Amino acid sequence: MLYRLFGDKNGLLAAVVDSAFQRYLALKRTQKLSDDPVNDLYSAWDAHIAFALKNQAVYRIAYAPALTEVPTGVDEARQLLLVRLVRCAEAGELNTTPDEAAQIMMAACIGVALSLITQPNTFSHPELSHRVRDAVLGEMLVEAPTANRHGDALKSTALQMAALIRAKPTPLTSPEVSMMLQWLGTITSAVSTPAATKSTGNSRSRPRR
């Protein structure tokens, strides 16, 4: 019966993961986003860590390298995070693309969660999750403009325009849209910020939930 329903052990484990993740994702799907997309990003990190700590066995299975395919629930969680990052890009708050930001944020958040679950005695600092969250998001988010940060301003503006063009109708034709996105992509790839001007954290003051 089990083999007919799930194929093999990995199929059964993936189904268990999906069942738990669907309860978590049901809340995220119905969650009303605020007027501050950056604050929603902080909330998404905290919610993910809280879910991991509450469902430790399932979480370890979900991100185990032994699974040959990514469970549906895990992939949907990434898609919901991507929606929040696109909103940040549309508001001109990202200094990288939403897809790159999702990869960075997920890698860091999953790493923190697994560290807290598998080695709680080693990773015991009570502010560990918040400190890593603030450092990671501080690198992805646009800071207040200063005289020596014109490169960041140009890059964030180009990313914002690209996100808005993808999300909203424009009077441009399809070839013109493609060309515009290509130009904006060239700008974001060419503009870089010297490491010396980078901030070590997020300049925003965010509530820690």
pTM of the model: 0.67
Give the pLDDT confidence score for residue 169 in this predicted structure. 82
202 inside domain: no
Give the pLDDT confidence score for residue 100 in this predicted structure. 92
Q: Cα dihedral sign for 164, 167, 173, 175? A: positive
What's the CA gap between 41 and 25, in Å, rounded?
16
Question: In the chain, which ranges are continuous DSSP H helix?
Answer: 2-6, 9-30, 37-54, 56-62, 72-90, 98-118, 128-140, 150-167, 174-190
Give the pLDDT confidence score for residue 195 in this predicted structure. 39
CA dist 203 → 102, 139, 158, 198 (Å): 20, 10, 22, 11
User: How does pLDDT run along the chain (209 residues), one tens digit per residue?
Assistant: 777 777 777 778 878 887 888 888 887 787 788 899 999 999 999 999 999 999 998 888 888 777 677 778 888 889 999 999 999 988 889 988 899 999 999 999 999 999 999 999 999 999 999 999 999 999 899 864 443 444 566 777 777 778 888 877 888 888 888 888 888 888 777 765 443 334 444 444 454 44
Phi, psi of 169 (to 5 degrees): -65, 145
76 inside domain: yes
**What amino acid is encoded at 141 in this protein?**
L
205 inside domain: no
CB atoms within 10 A of CB 25: 19
Give the pLDDT confidence score for residue 152 in this predicted structure. 64
91 inside domain: yes
Which range marks the domain in which residue 81 is found? 2-197
Give the pLDDT confidence score for residue 153 in this predicted structure. 66
207 inside domain: no
What's the CA gap between 34 and 31, in Å, rounded?
9
How many folded domains does the chain comprise? 1
Q: What Rg, from alpha-carbon coordinates, does the chain have?
A: 19
47 inside domain: yes
Q: What is the CATH number of the domain that holds 120?
A: 1.10.357.10
Question: In 168-193, which ranges are continuous DSSP H helix?
Answer: 174-190
